[in-house]
Amino acid sequence: MAITQTMCSSFKQEILLAVHNLATDAIKLALYTSSASLDATTTAYSSANEVVASGYVANGNTLTGATVTLDGTTAIVTFANTSWTSSDIVARGALIYNSSKSNKAIAVLDFGSDKVPTAGVFTVQFPAATASSAVVRIG
């Protein structure tokens, strides 16, 4: 199995069909083990190979602080970092998805290797909101 960091192809099409409103819809982030297969063809959240651990609830966390802006000619979306406390999570990647819209997939995150909590806290830290580093960007 493999996890490939990417914006999901279905999301690109759904943006043109006005399916998503990332500023107002409930956007979630679910964590996955190295057994997951997530890539550009992922169309929706699935519990298959989702992390099962203390401190983690199935379906993941709701992301907050969504900010949709432009950086030059690139549209970007950023979120506040999200954390799970008192956890023993081991995660290889994540899926950002829209729980307001039938759990439609937005983007896959590849952590590069299995990640574990620091002092019992597992945090997904989003990169800077720029055209070259934002996780969700359309250029």
From first to last of its 139 residues, the chain has per-residue pLDDT tens of: 799 999 999 999 999 999 999 999 999 999 999 999 999 999 999 999 999 999 999 999 999 999 999 999 999 999 999 999 999 999 999 999 999 999 999 999 999 999 999 999 999 999 999 999 999 999 8
In three-state secondary structure terms, 70 is strand
Judge whether 78 and 137 are in contact, CB under 8 Å.
no
pLDDT value of residue 27: 98
pTM of the model: 0.97
Judge whether 121 and 83 are in contact, CB under 8 Å.
yes
pLDDT value of residue 1: 74
Domain boundaries, the chain: 6-120
